[in-house]
Amino acid sequence: SRVRIPAIAVDSLLEDINLDAAGALKGPVDFGKAGWYAGGVAPGDLGPAVIAGHVDSDSGPAVFYRLRDLKAGDEIEVARGDTWIKFRVIATERHPKDQFPTDKVYRPTPVPELRLITCGGTFDRSRRSYEDNIVVYAVAA
What is the spatial distance between Cα 131 and Cα 61, in angstroms, rounded to a whole number?
A: 17
Residue range 58-69: mean pLDDT, rounded: 95
Residue 45 CB neighbours (<10 A): 13
Looking at the predicted structure, is the pLDDT value of residue 127 above 90?
Answer: no
pTM: 0.95
Residue range 44-68: mean pLDDT, rounded: 96
Provide the pLDDT confidence category of residue 78 given band limits of 50, 70 and 90. very high
What is the spatial distance between Cα 100 and Cα 130, in angstroms, rounded to a whole number?
A: 13
Nearest residue to 41 (alpha-carbon basis) of 118, 110, 119: 110
Find out whether 65 and 56 touch, Cβ atoms under 8 Å. Answer: yes
Residues facing 83 on adjacent strands: 80
Residues facing 84 on adjacent strands: 79
Burial of 75 per CB tally in 10 Å (0-12, 13-18, 19+): middle
Predicted pLDDT at 40:
94
Residue range 59-83: mean pLDDT, rounded: 96
Amino acid identity, residue 17? I
Looking at the predicted structure, is the pLDDT value of residue 29 above 90?
Answer: yes
Provide the pLDDT confidence category of residue 101 given band limits of 50, 70 and 90. very high
Give me the chain's average pLDDT, please: 95
